């Protein structure tokens, strides 16, 4: 057992404790960025002018009418930018654009004494546009060959030979929509100029260090002149990884130019119409199975719909390519990826970060092909799970293949699957107007940022003379319970009660150069860093204790706030007495901690290596019932077994699994981004840009019976206190909902039929699948045999360039002054 993963006796980690801020949440006293406005004097409010075109050149801007509106203080335009007019890190996102790239693109911003004044001012501004041709879908972009960024290519084995030798070959396409984050708290930033020109920005951001960098470059300042703080977020889900930066920069710019605090808060309409979402994908595939139904070859081309700029589309696509295998061994693989440039919001990170999109492709293939192979879908999935000594298509060994198998068997046993499959069959045989489906799907999800450089974390731990402990770390709290876990890690590492430790808000002037709290890595990276800082302090205190007790340092024990010495007759001493003593002996009681994930190597130009520290594993079984008259359905029961390693905080982890599942189920079944693809003047407008039209899961979508178990005997050798990351992987457990719906819909037709099912599988989509089943259109929308062979997915054009291993590139770049 490594020192990183080893737990001391009676650790504070592992206890199921509520969220550290739960009492503040329930009483309404927890502060979010916009709650600070009431405590800020003379605050100005910002509101944008949004372009009413999918794509248009801005030919004239007249801001003067806004200044005639009472209460309007200033209009911010490109001319006001003090540094670089860019909201991103790839220099393709002008903060104040001269070309509207999507419907709702913010062109200029108005600052008002009140929100009402800013909104009226924005309405008064005159902008002329010259409409330009626009692309609204990945299909349109493919036809126009409008791509952006790198085109990753991953290959193993011999795809042609594999398909030739396969007993069954199928071809199909699959196009699916993205997902809106719909964090309950919309984007918000509050900026002010502090003492001595210091810019202080409070932002609802998952990536304070990058928000700081962007604010600095827009203002023409250095990073040390800008401090970004994030108290907490009302949800992030990846939507606040890149998207907050430009908004924070607008607020900061306004504050510098007016000398007053500026609040920029997007309301829901602005948030949905301006900020990026999960990427929808267009995919083409050929797949080969042997006579028994084992996968032998997969040839696929994934086209991510990136929207108007690159944002995080390249790493999202890389992760999609790396997750197309999900939990299945496929000997011969060829996957090409590319990013469509369309006139939509710039799509971005969202829980799973491309992984779900890749995994969806294989799950959709298996769901459609199983009946065509004469197989029960659950059996087909089970037989293709990774086994011993197998590696992923990018060359990483699947060391914990046995955990997938264990999780599967436990779901089958605890979920009473065999009996319930019979029950479903009986129900379907006796009900003409409603049918049930029961599906099992696995999850194997790689943990670590694909970009190796991001896999580092920092912390600052301060111990005061009275023994009280204050911890800071680089991660942000968005509801995932990171702070709760970090308090538990610190208390465990120092051997003190949880109440001894307090956590201070995330700030860039405490811990610099942090990575985004993303990729499920928050607890791994920051936990490693906090543990490291605590151990530095404990080592010094051990010396003090050793002198006091007159024993070897190896015999000093810290437990529950008491310090004792093995084999000493001296009375144990209180932690606080030891820290007091240490102070007087001039021993440093604070430490900066650091952690970096060891053992990663990755070459994205050839898409080979070991980019992940480990995989998180899980299996879900979902039973649904579908109404044949309408396509409406209910989720009757869900059973999940999921691998979180040895849990740091079980209540938090269960919450992540349940919440991730329901969020995934929302994407699978309900949440629908509908963009106006017509040629009307509203072309490009998001038709579902409100809670009333974009429907999140509510209580009515919660599974009626919801059983979640953590996989036991799951110690993770390579991570803090034996735990595993949990934020993203459970989302993909919800694929079982869609597959169950597919099976229920197919049950309306003759046995053995396969149906295509839209995504999201809304009642309407399910109804059409039922109609297909009833009318005998049950080929699953796939072609088979030699016809399938001929459908070679699009291959990269001559201009395509591979991914760059950006971490290496940066390392060789000379430092900027």
Partner 1 sequence: MTNSPSQSPQITVNGTRRSLARTPSYLSLLDYLRGQGLTGAKEGCAEGECGACSVLVSRPDGAGSSWVAVNACLPPAVGYDGQEIVTAEGLGGSDGLHPVQEEMAHRGGSQCGYCTPGFVCSMAAEYYRADRAPTAHGADSATSSTTVAMDTGAETATDHEHGPNGFDLHALSGNLCRCTGYRPIRDAAYALGRPSAQDPLAHRRNEPAPEAVPTRVTDGMHEFVRPSTLHEAMTLLGDDRETRLVAGSTDWGVAANLLMARSPVLVAIDRLPELRELHEGPDHVEIGAALTLSEIERRLDGRVPLLAELFPQFASRLIRNGATLGGNLGTGSPIGDSPPVLLALESQLVLASTRGERVVPLADYFTGYRQTIRDSDELIKAVRIPLPLAASAAFHKIAKRRFDDISSVAVAFAVDIEDGVVRRARIGLGGVAATPLRAYETEAALEGRPWTLQTAQAAARVLGATGTPMDDHRASSRYRAAMLRTALLKFHSQTATQEVDA
Asked if 772 interacts with partner 1 (CB under 8 A), we say no
- Strands 633-642 and 614-627 turn out to be antiparallel
- Strands 281-289 and 99-100 turn out to be unpaired
Segment interacting with partner 1 (CB under 8 A) among 2-10, 35-43, 140-148, 591-599? 35-43
Nearest Cα to Cα of residue 246 among 214, 207, 202: 214
Site for partner 1 in 11-30 (CB under 8 A): 18-19, 21-30
**Residues 261-290 vs partner 1: string with x where CB under 8 A?**
------xxx---------------------
Asked if 764 interacts with partner 1 (CB under 8 A), we say yes
Segment interacting with partner 1 (CB under 8 A) among 326-334, 517-525, 559-567, 765-773? 765-773
User: Which pairs count as long-range contacts for 157-164, CB under 8 Å and 24+ apart, including other chains?
Assistant: 157/297, 157/331, 157/332, 157/333, 158/332, 159/297, 159/299, 159/332, 159/333, 159/334, 161/332, 162/288, 162/296, 162/297, 162/331, 162/332, 163/286, 163/288, 163/296, 163/297, 163/299, 163/332, 163/789, 164/789
Interface residue with partner 1 among 5, 8, 31, 258 (CB under 8 A) is: 31
Asked if 116 interacts with partner 1 (CB under 8 A), we say yes
Q: How far is the CB of 315 from partner 1 (least distance, A)?
A: 24
Q: How far is the CB of 472 from partner 1 (least distance, A)?
A: 20
Interface residue with partner 1 among 233, 362, 411, 496 (CB under 8 A) is: 233
Q: How far is the CB of 269 from partner 1 (least distance, A)?
A: 6
How many helices (H) and strands (E) are present in the chain, helices listed first?
21, 30
Q: Half-sphere exposure of residue 650, counting CA atoms within 13 Å on the CB side? A: 10
Asked if 434 interacts with partner 1 (CB under 8 A), we say yes
- Spatial distance between the Cα atoms of 517 and 527, rounded to a whole number of angstroms: 12
Q: Which is nearer to partner 1, 7 or 637 (CB)?
A: 637
From residue 665, alpha-carbon distances to 179, 231, 253, 518, 738 in Å are 11, 29, 40, 21, 8
Nearest Cα to Cα of residue 478 among 205, 731, 208, 233: 233
Q: How far is the CB of 26 from partner 1 (least distance, A)?
A: 4
Q: How far is the CB of 59 from partner 1 (least distance, A)?
A: 26
Question: Which token pair is 237?
Answer: 């889900």
Segment interacting with partner 1 (CB under 8 A) among 234-242, 532-540, 583-591, 773-781? 234-242
**What are the two backbone dihedrals, phi and then psi, of residue 476, each rounded to the nearest 5 degrees?**
-110, 155
Q: How far is the CB of 477 from partner 1 (least distance, A)?
A: 8
Interface residue with partner 1 among 2, 422, 698, 712 (CB under 8 A) is: 698
Q: Which is nearer to partner 1, 269 or 564 (CB)?
A: 269
Segment interacting with partner 1 (CB under 8 A) among 158-166, 577-585, 607-615, 627-635? 627-635
Segment interacting with partner 1 (CB under 8 A) among 79-87, 95-103, 567-575, 701-709? 701-709
Site for partner 1 in 305-344 (CB under 8 A): none
Q: Which is nearer to partner 1, 680 or 816 (CB)?
A: 680
Asked if 705 interacts with partner 1 (CB under 8 A), we say yes
Catalytic residues: 728
Contacts of 159 (CB under 8 A, 6+ apart): 297, 299, 332, 333, 334
Asked if 763 interacts with partner 1 (CB under 8 A), we say yes
CB 370 within 8 A of CB 383: no
Interface residue with partner 1 among 358, 767, 772, 803 (CB under 8 A) is: 767
Q: Which is nearer to partner 1, 535 or 764 (CB)?
A: 764
Strand arrangement of the beta sheet that strand 434-447 belongs to: 434-447, 614-627, 633-642, 705-710
Asked if 632 interacts with partner 1 (CB under 8 A), we say yes
Q: How far is the CB of 312 from partner 1 (least distance, A)?
A: 20
Q: Which is nearer to partner 1, 30 or 425 (CB)?
A: 30
**What are the two backbone dihedrals, phi and then psi, of residue 646, each rounded to the nearest 5 degrees?**
-95, 110
Name the residue with tokens 């960024």. Answer: 149
Question: Which token pair is 320?
Answer: 């999609």
Residue by residue, what is the 3-state secondary structure of 522-579? HHHHHHHHHHHHHHHHHHHHHHHHHHHHCCCHHHEEEECCEEEECCCCCCCEEHHHHH
Site for partner 1 in 563-602 (CB under 8 A): none
Asked if 695 interacts with partner 1 (CB under 8 A), we say yes
Q: Which is nearer to partner 1, 143 or 674 (CB)?
A: 674
Asked if 696 interacts with partner 1 (CB under 8 A), we say yes
Asked if 687 interacts with partner 1 (CB under 8 A), we say yes
Question: Which token pair is 801?
Answer: 């360039």
Q: Which is nearer to partner 1, 123 or 144 (CB)?
A: 123
Interface residue with partner 1 among 196, 692, 713, 812 (CB under 8 A) is: 692
Interface residue with partner 1 among 688, 715, 774, 783 (CB under 8 A) is: 688
Site for partner 1 in 119-138 (CB under 8 A): 119, 123
Q: How far is the CB of 246 from partner 1 (least distance, A)?
A: 22
Segment interacting with partner 1 (CB under 8 A) among 205-213, 228-236, 273-281, 362-370? 228-236
Query: For residue 700, what is the DSSP state?
Result: G
Name the residue with tokens 């099976």. Answer: 743
57: exposed, middle or buried (Cβ count in 10 Å: 0-12, 13-18, 19+): middle
Asked if 92 interacts with partner 1 (CB under 8 A), we say no
**Residues 633-672 vs partner 1: string with x where CB under 8 A?**
-x-xx-------------xx-xx--xxxxxx------x-x
Q: Which is nearer to partner 1, 182 or 612 (CB)?
A: 182
Interface residue with partner 1 among 128, 130, 704, 794 (CB under 8 A) is: 704
Q: Which is nearer to partner 1, 193 or 732 (CB)?
A: 732
C-alpha of 478 from chain center: 12
Site for partner 1 in 176-195 (CB under 8 A): 182-186
Strand arrangement of the beta sheet that strand 126-131 belongs to: 99-100, 56-62, 126-131
Interface residue with partner 1 among 212, 332, 508, 762 (CB under 8 A) is: 762
Q: If you write DSSP's letter for every residue of 105-169 in order, what string do you get?
A: -EEEEEEESSHHHHHHHHHH-EEEEEE-----SHHHHHHHT-B-S---EEEES-HHHHHHH-SEE
Helix (H, G, I), strand (E, B) or coil at 740: helix
Q: How far is the CB of 767 from partner 1 (least distance, A)?
A: 7
Q: How far is the CB of 527 from partner 1 (least distance, A)?
A: 18
- Spatial distance between the Cα atoms of 792 and 799, rounded to a whole number of angstroms: 19
Interface residue with partner 1 among 97, 162, 234, 753 (CB under 8 A) is: 234
Q: How many residues bind partner 1 (CB under 8 A)?
A: 85
Interface residue with partner 1 among 10, 418, 693, 775 (CB under 8 A) is: 693
Name the residue with tokens 């597919």. Answer: 742
Site for partner 1 in 479-508 (CB under 8 A): 479-481
Q: Which is nearer to partner 1, 69 or 534 (CB)?
A: 69
- Spatial distance between the Cα atoms of 593 and 534, rounded to a whole number of angstroms: 8
Q: Which is nearer to partner 1, 584 or 699 (CB)?
A: 699
Q: Which is nearer to partner 1, 27 or 713 (CB)?
A: 27
- Strands 99-100 and 56-62 turn out to be antiparallel
Asked if 235 interacts with partner 1 (CB under 8 A), we say yes
Q: Which is nearer to partner 1, 5 or 269 (CB)?
A: 269
Nearest Cα to Cα of residue 439 among 472, 407, 411, 397: 411
């Amino acid at each position: 057992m490594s020192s990183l993963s080893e737990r001391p006796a009676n650790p504070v980690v592992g206890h199921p404790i509520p969220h550290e801020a739960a009492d503040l949440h329930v009483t309404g006293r927890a502060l979010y960025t916009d709650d600070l406005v009431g405590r800020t004097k003379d605050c100005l409010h910002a509101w944008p002018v949004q372009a009413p075109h999918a794509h248009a050149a801005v030919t004239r801007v007249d801001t003067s009418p806004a200044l005639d509106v009472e209460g309007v203080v200033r209009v911010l335009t490109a001319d006001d930018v003090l540094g670089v007019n860019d909201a991103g890190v790839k220099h393709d996102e002008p903060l104040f654009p001269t070309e509207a790239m999507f419907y709702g693109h913010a062109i200029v911003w108005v600052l008002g004494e009140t929100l009402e004044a800013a909104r009226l001012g924005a309405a008064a501004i005159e902008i002329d546009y010259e409409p330009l041709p626009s692309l609204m879908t990945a299909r349109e972009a493919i036809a126009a060959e409008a791509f952006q960024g790198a085109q990753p290519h991953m290959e193993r084995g011999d795809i042609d030979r594999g398909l030739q030798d396969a007993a069954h070959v199928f071809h199909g396409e699959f196009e699916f929509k993205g997902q809106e984050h719909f964090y309950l708290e919309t984007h918000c930033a509050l900026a002010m100029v502090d003492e001595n020109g210091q810019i202080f920005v409070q932002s609802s951001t998952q990536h304070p260090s990058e928000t700081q960098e962007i604010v600095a470059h827009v203002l023409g300042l250095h990073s040390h002149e800008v401090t970004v703080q994030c108290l907490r977020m009302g949800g992030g889900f990846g939507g606040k990884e890149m998207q907050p930066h430009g908004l924070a920069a607008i607020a900061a710019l306004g504050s510098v130019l007016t000398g007053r605090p500026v609040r920029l808060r997007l309301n829901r309409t602005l948030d949905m119409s301006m900020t990026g979402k999960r990427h929808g994908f267009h995919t083409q595939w050929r797949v080969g199975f042997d006579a028994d139904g084992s996968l032998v070859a997969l040839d696929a081309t994934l086209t991510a719909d990136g929207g108007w700029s690159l944002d995080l589309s390249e790493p999202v696509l890389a992760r999609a390519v790396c997750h197309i295998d999900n939990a299945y061994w496929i000997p011969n693989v060829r996957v090409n990826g590319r990013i469509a440039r369309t006139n939509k919001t710039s799509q971005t990170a969202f829980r799973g970060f491309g992984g779900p999109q890749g995994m969806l492709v294989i799950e959709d293939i298996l769901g459609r092909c199983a009946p065509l192979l004469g197989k029960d879908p659950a059996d087909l999935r089970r037989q293709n799970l990774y086994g011993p000594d197998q590696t992923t298509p990018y060359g990483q060994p699947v060391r914990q293949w046995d955990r997938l198998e264990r999780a599967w068997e436990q779901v089958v046993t605890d979920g009473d699957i065999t009996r319930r499959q019979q029950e479903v069959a009986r129900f379907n045989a006796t009900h003409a107007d409603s049918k049930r489906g029961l599906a099992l799907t696995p999850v194997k999800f790689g943990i670590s940022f694909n970009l190796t450089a991001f896999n580092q974390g920092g912390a600052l731990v301060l111990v005061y003379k009275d023994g009280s402990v204050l911890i800071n770390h680089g991660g942000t709290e968005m509801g995932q319970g990171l702070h709760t876990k970090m308090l538990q890690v610190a208390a465990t590492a120092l051997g003190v009660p949880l109440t001894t430790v307090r956590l201070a808000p995330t700030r860039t002037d405490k811990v610099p150069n942090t990575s985004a709290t993303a990729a499920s890595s928050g607890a791994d990276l920051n936990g490693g860093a906090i543990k490291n800082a605590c151990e530095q302090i404990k080592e010094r205190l051990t010396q003090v204790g050793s002198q006091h007790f007159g024993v070897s340092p190896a015999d000093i024990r810290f437990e529950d706030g008491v310090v004792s010495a093995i084999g000493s007759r001296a009375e144990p001493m209180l932690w606080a007495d030891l820290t007091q003593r240490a102070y007087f002996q001039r021993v440093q009681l604070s430490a900066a901690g650091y952690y970096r994930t060891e053992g990663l190597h990755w070459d994205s130009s050839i898409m080979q290596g070991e980019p992940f520290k480990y995989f998180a594993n899980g299996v879900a079984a979902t039973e649904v019932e579908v109404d044949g008259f309408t396509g409406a359905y209910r989720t009757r029961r869900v059973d999940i077994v999921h691998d979180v390693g040895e849990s740091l905080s079980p209540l938090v982890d269960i919450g992540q699994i349940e919440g991730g599942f329901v969020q995934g189920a929302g994407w699978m079944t309900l949440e629908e981004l509908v963009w106006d693809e017509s040629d009307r003047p509203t072309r490009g407008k998001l038709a579902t840009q409100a809670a009333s039209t974009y429907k999140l899961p509510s209580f009515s979508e919660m599974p009626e019976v919801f059983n979640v178990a953590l996989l036991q005997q799951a110690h993770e050798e390579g991570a803090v206190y034996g735990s595993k990351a949990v934020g993203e992987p459970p989302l993909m457990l919800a694929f079982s909902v869609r597959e169950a719906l597919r099976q229920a819909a197919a049950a309306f037709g003759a046995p053995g039929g396969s149906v295509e099912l839209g995504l999201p599988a809304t009642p309407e989509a399910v109804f059409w699948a039922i109609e297909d089943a009833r009318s005998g259109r049950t080929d699953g929308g796939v072609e088979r045999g030699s016809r399938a062979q001929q459908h070679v997915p699009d291959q990269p054009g001559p201009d395509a360039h591979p991914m760059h291993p950006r971490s290496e590139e940066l390392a060789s770049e000379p430092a900027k002054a």
